[in-house]
Amino acid sequence: MLFEPFSFAGFTLKNRIVRSATYEKRADEDGFVTDSLIELYETLARGGSGLIITGNALVHHTGRCLPQMLSIHSDIYIPGLRKLTEAVHRLDSLIIAQLNHGGRQCPPLLLGGQKPLAPSEVHDPATRATPKAMTNTEIWDIIDAFGEAARRAQLSGFDAVQIHAAHGYLISSFLSPHTNRRDDYWGGDEERRFHFIEEVYKAVREAVGEHYPVFIKINCDDLLPGGITLEESVKAVSRLQAMGLDAVEISGGMRESQVKTIRPDILAPEDEAYFRNAGKLFRQTLGIPVILTGGMRSKTVMEDVLAKGQADLIGMSRPLIREPALPALLKEGKEKADCISCNKCIRFSRLSYVRCKQIKHTL
Ligand SMILES: Cc1cc2nc3c(=O)[nH]c(=O)nc-3n(C[C@H](O)[C@H](O)[C@H](O)COP(=O)(O)O)c2cc1C
C-alpha cells in the first residue's frame, strides 16, 4: 500500500509517504528563503516523498521560536516563497506550508527580551521563562495573522496549509488544560479551550476559500500530567472536520514533556510508530485522512500501520534528514531507514543548519 497513490482534497499523492514538518535552520536571519533551503527541498522532491510539509513558518513576529526559521508574516516573503514552491513543482512534487506561532515556547532571546505570549502565565521549564497571558486584542491579532499567513501561502503557490496545533506551541497551549488556565471565552473548560483553534481555522478558511486544502497537526496527548488527552483531541478534530478540515496529522508531547515527541533510540519494530494506537481511534472516528508521524523506520511497520487502519499516510522527519531520498530507496527495495534516532539533529545550536551528525553531509 505504501507506494499506491492516494487522492483527497483535490490532489493525488504518488505514494503514502509525507515529509513531516522539519525546521531546517536554513532561512536567513530575517526568515527569507535561501538557496540552501531551495536546494534541500529540491533534494526532498527528487527523493520521492508524496507530500512535503515545510518546517514551521512564522505567522507573527511575536511567535519566533527558533533562529533562522522560515517566515510568512509579511507580504515581503512572498517572492522567495514562490521561488521555493516553483522549484518543488518543477520536480512534480507537492508542498504544504506549516503555519506556526511559537507562543509559550519562544525563548525571550528571540523576542528581543520580550515575554513569550501564552493563554496563561504557566512557567515553562524548557525556556526557563514565564509567559505573558494574552489580552483579548492580542488573541484576535494572532488569529488574523494566521489568516493572513494562509493567504500568503496560497498566493505563493503552496498546495495546502497545515496549521501547527501540536507540540506545545501557541495553538496547542490553548487546547491544553496544563497551559490554558483562563476562565473566559478562551479557556475554563474543554468547550472554551477549543475556541482559539476554532477561530484560527475560521480565519484561515476565510482567507483561502472553500476549496483550498487545510490540514492541522495536533497532539493526541500532551504526555504530561494535566495535558490534553486522546479523547479531547479526537473531539476537537471531529469538530474541525465538520467545519471543513481536510486532513489531520497526529503527534504528541510538548517541549516540557521532554523527548516524548522526538523519541530517541527507535531501534526495534516495537519501538516504531509510537502513536499508532491513537491513529486507530482518529481513523475510526473521523472521515478525513490521518497522517501518523513518530518513529516510522521500517517498511514492514509502515505497511502494517496502513493495513491495520491506523493511518492513511505515513509521516517522517528524522529519517529524511539523514536520507532525503528514503522514499525512493524504500521503493527500490530498501527495508529500513538508516536513522538510529540518536537525536543529535535536534541539538542544532552550534550547527549552521539542521543535519544528521552520523554522516558527512554534502548538502
Ligand atoms: C530537527 C527537527 C525539526 C522539527 N521541526 C518541526 C517543525 O517545524 N514542525 C513540526 O510540526 N514538527 C517538527 N519536528 C517534529 C517532527 O515533525 C516529528 O513529529 C517528530 O520528529 C517525530 O517523527 P520522526 O520519528 O519521524 O522524527 C521536528 C523534528 C526534528 C527532528
Whether residue 169 lies in the annotated active site: yes
Instruction: Reply yes or no on whether the pLDDT at 362 is more than 80.
Output: no
Q: Is the beta carbon of 294 within 6 A of some atom in ligand 1?
A: yes
Q: Which pTM does this prediction carry?
A: 0.97
For 94, the 3-state DSSP assignment is coil
Read off the amino acid at residue 173: S
Query: Domain limits of the chain?
Result: 6-346
Instruction: Reply yes or no on whether the pLDDT at 359 is more than 90.
Output: no
Pocket test of ligand 1: the residue of 17, 18, 19, 22 to mutate, having most ligand atoms within 8 Å of its CB, is: 22
Q: Is the beta carbon of 146 within 6 A of some atom in ligand 1?
A: no
Contact between 206 and 142 under an 8 Å Cβ cutoff? The reply is: no
Averaged pLDDT, 277-299? 97
Instruction: Reply yes or no on whether the pLDDT at 361 is more than 80.
Output: no
Which residue from 331, 330, 289 is spatially nearest to 311, judged by alpha carbons? 289
- What would the pLDDT profile of 97-113 be if each residue is shown by its tens digit? 999 999 999 999 999 99
Catalytic member of 23, 77, 169, 274 = 169
Instruction: Reply yes or no on whether the pLDDT at 319 is more than 90.
Output: yes
Alpha-carbon span 48 to 302, nearest angstrom: 16
Query: Which residue, by CA, sits nearest to atom 4 of ligand 1?
Result: 22
Alpha-carbon span 239 to 198, nearest angstrom: 9
Alpha-carbon span 31 to 119, nearest angstrom: 26
**C-alpha grid cell, residue 125:** 521549564
pLDDT at 350: 84
Averaged pLDDT, 205-210? 98
Residue 151 to residues 1, 32, 87, 203, 206, Cα–Cα distance (Å): 34, 17, 20, 10, 9
End-to-end CA distance of the chain, in Å? 31
pLDDT at 258: 79
pLDDT band at residue 363 using 50, 70 and 90 as cut-offs: low
Contact between 162 and 56 under an 8 Å Cβ cutoff? The reply is: no
- What would the pLDDT profile of 307-317 be if each residue is shown by its tens digit? 999 999 999 99
Question: What mean pLDDT is reported for the chain?
Answer: 96
> Considering the domain 6-346, what is its CATH architecture?
Alpha-Beta Barrel (3.20)
For residue 136, the CA-to-ligand 1 centroid distance in Å is: 31
Bin 243: left if φ > 0, else alpha if -120 < ψ < 50, else beta: alpha
**C-alpha grid cell, residue 146:** 494566521
Count H helices and E strands in the chain, helices first.
11, 13
- What would the pLDDT profile of 36-69 be if each residue is shown by its tens digit? 999 999 999 999 999 999 999 999 999 999 999 9
pLDDT band at residue 259 using 50, 70 and 90 as cut-offs: confident
Averaged pLDDT, 336-355? 92
Averaged pLDDT, 279-307? 97
pLDDT band at residue 260 using 50, 70 and 90 as cut-offs: confident
For 317, the 3-state DSSP assignment is coil
Instruction: Reply yes or no on whether the pLDDT at 247 is more than 80.
Output: yes
Averaged pLDDT, 241-265? 94
For residue 262, the CA-to-ligand 1 centroid distance in Å is: 7
